[in-house]
């Protein structure tokens, strides 16, 4: 083929595997070899030259590597025509609109000068790099999918990530389907789409039946993938029974589809679907192989995640049985607890507490077994139940502790346990510590350790443990805690005993003691909680504690319950006054004290012969009580006016939250 | 006279309104506190809009705290500022004592029976 003014060795060029075209400066194609005709979808080089350039371009949808459409001025040949001499090679992904075939190409262009020394032609050399590019994409896709699948045990979430990775490089949308537990319906659990606006549509897609003759159901049943290179409309109409869905799918313009099994250990557990629509490309055998590999990897990951989830569920079920109990109501004592195991999947740590009735009293136990996880949980169970049964049978905490020591020594593996037992009987606390931190006795504003340290259990045949008995005065608070409290790590050191004593000094009652420890640890600790923490506090008191959710009904719930506590002891008029005051204080706690559903109002009721004391606790920062509140018809503070005028005595105390208390004498007060 | 009764979801608290030519009588039944006071306030305001006088009948109120006291004084204040006249029908002895303790008694018009202003049998 003659090219005026340009000497080309046609025989050599025609035989080249690379596509070669030559353009004149006005953009006309004046030469194309056989390879160029092939890749530009022309019957022959002559036919290609006879086709207007614009028409050739329209045969393809061309994209940059990032998926954006190619603009004409990006083409290296065009840039030479515009005066550049050495334009950068251009990588394009071209999809043949007629066949849907996708090819990756790199185009290089060189300027050729005419005898006058001016640029007269642009020579374009186009290399087909489809295989290289696909291998690169496949590798990248599998690598990223592997990372995503290994990143979490939340498989529905990771499958979503895998679906998103496949788009747009492999498909325009990608869906993940899993059959339900009974294997009747197939649910779409994740969908990704080039156009995120369409994801919702895909999710709305109804679950399909496992008994469908073709499609996802057949792939899951048979474990064999399905590739439909071109989807004829009849096939679509045949496959989709629901006319609404069919219409939607037609609107999307599905061109090509592949469905591959997600398999694990020879079993098919779901399917991945890949659809080509917007891009107009058709899937190839190579695409199918890549999709199948994704399916295998996703299947394995899902199966692992399921096994893990199942194992966690079993562990939780077992652990729930070992969780410390809600402490029973104990006459003359109020109790409160804090239990915080360290670690995510660890509900039950090596710490435990318990309270059990013994003859004429109660036995409280706080303990800590060595080790973590399942073996620690098993040891916890052994320690708790041994102490329970032997304390009941032997009626003596010392002998119960000796019994547990013997049990632990009998075990083949090293089994260590530390406990602190407190026997409450006749207003006295008998304390026995075995390798355990000593409990703290809070009396008024002072706090001190009580009891004597003894050996840890499970270590020595002949241990000696010395009980110590202290008399509990009314309103004394005794706090038992595990070493997780002392060993809480702060910025530079552990929490330690001094901080604990300082925090507890002045704690008003068991709940308050728990609140101050929780608050102090929260402010002190740095980083993740390293150790399990258990705290049990008890107060010798006649006070009852009522916990009321902090909502609009709280005032009524609280005043009714307080009135019920007092009903047997107080005359009707005094009861009415108490109801008014409780209503006022609880209203304030909800309105101003920050109480809500999560942070309830706590009301303690203490009934003595001559008087009753009621305290309302809220989580708020507190306020300065006016010396003599003044009544204001316009509202605000009227609740406190009533307290001032009706109560025999009242006050405000601040701890972690705020406590407003009042006392009312049984004989009619002179106030009012 | 057709009694207009409205049930509210809050426990057993109800408000009944009877409209007479000279006055609207608002009769709450149950306990007045932060959870119920707004229902009562709404009904009172609605009556103030089209009655020359509003009477709050406390005879069926079983319990009231300062939420109720404050509401009464809002009504009284609007009456003094030129709104419709306002009167109370005496509640239980315990509720009356609440008014005394708060020191809000003086200046309130207190009736033993709404018929004193409606001119009808209650």
Select from B70, B97, B103 the Cβ nearest to the Cβ of A635.
B70
3-class secondary-structure state, position A23: strand
pLDDT digits (tens, 9 = 90+) for A118-171: 888 899 999 889 888 888 888 888 888 888 777 766 777 788 888 888 887 888
Q: Taking 90 as the threshold, does the pLDDT of residue A603 lie above it?
A: yes
Burial of A435 (0-12, 13-18, 19+ CB in 10 A): buried
CB A102 within 8 A of CB A285: no
Predicted local confidence at residue B122, as pLDDT: 41
pLDDT of residue A671: 43
Most confidently predicted of A109-113, A234-238, A666-670: A109-113
| pLDDT tens readout for residues B83-102 | 999 999 999 999 999 988 88
Rounded distance between C-alpha atoms, residue A441 and residue A504, angstroms: 9
Average pLDDT over residues A475-497: 92
The 10s digit of each residue's pLDDT in A574-585 is 999 999 999 999
A380-399: pLDDT as tens digits: 888 988 998 888 888 788 88
The mean per-residue pLDDT over the stretch A206-215 comes to: 74
Structure tokens at A122: 């642009």
Asked if the C-beta of A579 comes within 8 angstroms of chain B's C-beta atoms, the answer is: yes
8 Å CB contact between A589 and A643: no
Lowest mean pLDDT among A198-212, A314-328, B63-77: A198-212
Statement: residue B36 has pLDDT above 90: yes
Please report where in the chains the tokens 């590999």 appear, as a residue. Answer: A293
3-class secondary structure, A468: strand
> Would the CB atoms of A633 and B94 count as touching at under 8 Å?
no
- Its pTM stands at 0.56
User: What interhelical angle do B93-102 and A638-646 show, nearest 10?
Assistant: 100
Quick check: helix, strand or coil at residue A483? helix
C-alpha angle A210/A212/A216, rounded to 5°? Answer: 70
Digit-coded pLDDT (tens) for A30-88: 899 988 998 888 999 999 999 888 888 889 989 898 888 898 888 898 899 888 888 99
Cis amide linkage into residue A342, ω under 30° from 0: no
Model confidence band, residue A434 (pLDDT cutoffs 50, 70, 90): very high
Residue B2 carries which DSSP code?
Answer: -
With tokens 């402010």, the residue in question is A523
Contacts of B102 in chain A (CB under 8 A): 631, 638, 641-642, 645
Strands B14-19 and B4-7: antiparallel
Greatest alpha-carbon span in chain A: 126
Q: Strand, coil or helix: what is A40?
A: coil
CA distance A226 to A220: 11
CB environment A472-495: b (16+ within 10 A), e (fewer) = beebbbbbbbbbbbbebbeeeebb
A212-252 per-position pLDDT tens digit: 777 888 899 999 999 988 888 777 777 677 777 777 777 77
DSSP letter string, A170-203: T-SEEEEEEE-TTSSEEEEEEEEESSGGGHHHHH
What is the distance of C-alpha A47 from the center of its chain?
62
What pLDDT was estimated at residue B2?
39
pLDDT at A639 over 80: yes
Return the closest-CA partner of residue A535 out of A591, A484, A607: A484
- Any residues with CB less than 8 A from the CB of A315 and at least 6 apart, and which? A345, A374
Bigger pLDDT: A376 vs A459: A459
- Find chain B residues with C-beta within 8 A of A590's C-beta: 34
Least CB–CB distance from A638: residue in B35, B63, B66: B66
Beta-bridge partner residues of A268:
A263
CB of A633 within 8 Å of any CB in chain B? yes
Task: Locate the chain B residue with the closest alpha carbon to A636.
Answer: B70
Predicted local distance difference test score (pLDDT) of residue A258: 93
Q: In 10 A of CB B100, how many CB atoms?
A: 11
- Considering only the beta carbons, identify the residue of B73, B97, B98 that sits closest to A633: B73
Give percent above pLDDT 70 in chain A.
Answer: 91
Selected residues 79-138 of chain A with any CB under 8 Å from a CB in chain B:
none
Contacts of A552 in chain B (CB under 8 A): 34-35
* Residue A602: its H or E element: strand A601-607
A281: number of Cβ within 10 Å = 25
For the CA atoms of A376, A381, A382, A385, the dihedral, rounded to the nearest 10 degrees, stands at 160
What kind and span of H or E run contains A639?
helix A638-646
pLDDT class of B9 with cuts at 50, 70, 90: very low
* Residue A403 Cα to chain centre, angstroms: 43
CB-count burial class (<10 Å; 0-12, 13-18, 19+) for B55? buried
Question: Cα B48 from chain centroid?
Answer: 11
pLDDT grade for B32, boundaries at 50, 70 and 90: very high
In eight-state DSSP terms, residue A211 is T
C-alpha to C-alpha distance for A45 and A33, rounded to whole angstroms = 6
Nearest to A631 among B33, B97, B102 (CB): B102
Query: Which structure tokens are listed for A179?
Result: 């059959």
**How buried is B29 (Cβ within 10 angstroms: 0-12 exposed, 13-18 middle, 19+ buried)?**
middle
Helical packing angle, A285-322 and A373-394, nearest 10°: 20
B12–A contact, CB cutoff 8 A? no
Q: Three-class SS of residue A592?
A: coil
Asked if residues A581 and A642 have their Cβ atoms less than 8 Å apart, the reply is yes
Q: Which residue has the tokens 């509640």?
A: B91
Q: At what angle do helices A285-322 and A155-166 cross, to 10 degrees?
A: 160
What is the rounded CA–CA span in Å between residue A580 and residue B99?
12
A/B interface, count of CB pairs below 8 Å: 61
| Residue among A339, A512, A539 at smallest CA distance from A429 | A539
């Amino acid at each position: 083929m003659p090219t005026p003014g340009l000497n080309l060795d046609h025989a050599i060029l025609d035989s080249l595997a690379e596509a070669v075209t030559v353009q004149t400066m006005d953009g006309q194609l004046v030469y194309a070899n056989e390879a160029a005709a092939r890749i530009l979808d022309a019957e022959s080089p002559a036919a290609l030259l006879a086709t207007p350039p614009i028409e050739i371009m329209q045969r393809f949808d061309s994209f940059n590597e990032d998926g954006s459409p190619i603009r004409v001025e990006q083409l290296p040949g065009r840039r030479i025509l515009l005066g550049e001499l050495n334009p950068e090679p251009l990588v394009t992904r071209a999809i043949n609109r007629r066949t849907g075939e996708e090819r990756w190409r790199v185009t290089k262009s060189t300027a050729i000068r005419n005898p006058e020394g001016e640029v007269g032609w642009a020579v374009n050399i186009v290399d087909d790099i489809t295989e290289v590019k696909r291998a690169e994409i496949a590798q990248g896709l599998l690598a990223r999918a592997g990372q995503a699948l290994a990143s979490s045990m939340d498989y529905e979430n990771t499958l979503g990530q895998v679906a998103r990775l496949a788009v747009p490089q492999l498909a325009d949308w990608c869906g993940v389907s899993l059959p339900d537990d009974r294997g009747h319906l197939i649910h779409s659990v994740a969908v990704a789409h080039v156009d995120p606006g369409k994801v919702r549509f895909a999710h709305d897609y109804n679950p399909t039946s496992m008994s469908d003759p073709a499609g996802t159901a057949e792939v899951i049943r048979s474990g064999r993938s399905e590739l439909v290179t071109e989807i004829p409309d009849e096939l679509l109409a045949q496959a989709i029974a629901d006319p609404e869905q069919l219409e939607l799918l037609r609107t999307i313009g599905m061109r090509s589809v592949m469905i591959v099994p997600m398999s694990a250990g020879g079993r098919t557990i779901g399917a991945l679907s890949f659809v080509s629509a917007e891009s107009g490309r058709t899937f190839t055998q190579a695409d199918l192989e890549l999709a199948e590999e994704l399916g295998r990897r996703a299947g394995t990951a899902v199966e692992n995640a399921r096994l893990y989830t199942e194992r966690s569920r079993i562990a939780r079920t077992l652990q729930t049985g070992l969780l410390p109990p809600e402490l029973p109501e104990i006459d003359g004592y109020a109790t409160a607890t804090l239990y915080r195991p360290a670690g995510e999947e660890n509900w039950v740590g090596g710490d435990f507490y318990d309270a059990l009735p013994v003859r004429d009293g109660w036995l409280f136990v706080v303990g800590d077994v060595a080790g973590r996880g399942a073996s620690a949980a098993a040891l916890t169970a052994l320690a708790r139940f041994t102490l329970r049964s032997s304390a009941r049978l032997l009626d003596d905490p010392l002998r119960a502790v000796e019994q547990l020591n013997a049990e632990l020594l009998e075990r083949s593996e090293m089994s260590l346990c530390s406990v602190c037992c407190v026997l409450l009987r006749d207003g006295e606390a008998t304390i026995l510590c075995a390798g355990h931190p000593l409990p703290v006795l809070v009396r008024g504003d002072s706090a001190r350790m009580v009891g004597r340290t003894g050996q840890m259990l499970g270590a020595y045949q002949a241990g000696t443990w010395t009980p110590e008995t202290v008399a509990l005065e009314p309103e004394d608070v005794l706090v038992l805690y595990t070493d997780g409290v002392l060993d809480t790590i702060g910025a530079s050191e552990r929490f330690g005993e001094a901080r604990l004593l300082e925090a507890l000094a002045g704690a008003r009652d068991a709940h308050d003691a728990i609140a101050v420890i929780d608050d102090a640890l929260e402010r002190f600790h740095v980083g993740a909680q390293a150790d399990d923490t258990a705290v049990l506090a008890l107060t010798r008191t006649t006070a009852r504690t009522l916990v009321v959710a902090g909502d609009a009904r709280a005032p009524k719930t609280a005043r009714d319950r307080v009135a019920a506590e007092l009903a047997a002891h107080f005359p009707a008029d005094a009861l009415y006054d108490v109801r008014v005051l409780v209503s006022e204080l609880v209203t304030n706690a909800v309105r101003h004290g920050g109480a809500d559903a999560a942070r309830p109002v706590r009301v303690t009721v203490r009934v003595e012969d001559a008087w009753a004391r009621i305290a309302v606790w809220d989580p708020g920062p507190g306020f300065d009580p006016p010396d003599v509140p003044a009544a204001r018809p316009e509202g605000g503070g009227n609740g406190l006016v009533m307290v001032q005028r009706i109560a025999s005595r009242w006050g405000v105390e601040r701890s972690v939250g705020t406590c407003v208390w009042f006392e009312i004498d049984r004989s009619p007060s002179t106030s009012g | 006279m057709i009694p207009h009764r409205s049930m509210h979801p809050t426990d057993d608290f109800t408000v009944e309104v009877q409209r007479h030519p000279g006055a609207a009588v608002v009769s709450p039944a149950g306990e007045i506190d932060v959870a119920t006071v707004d229902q009562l306030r709404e009904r009172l305001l609605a009556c103030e809009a089209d009655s020359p006088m509003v009477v709050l009948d406390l005879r069926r109120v079983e319990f009231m705290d300062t939420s109720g006291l404050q509401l009464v004084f809002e009504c009284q204040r609007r009456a003094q500022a030129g709104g419709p006249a306002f009167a109370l029908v005496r509640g239980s002895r315990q509720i009356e004592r609440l008014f005394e303790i708060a020191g809000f008694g003086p200046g309130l018009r207190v009736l033993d029976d709404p018929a004193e202003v409606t001119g009808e049998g209650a």
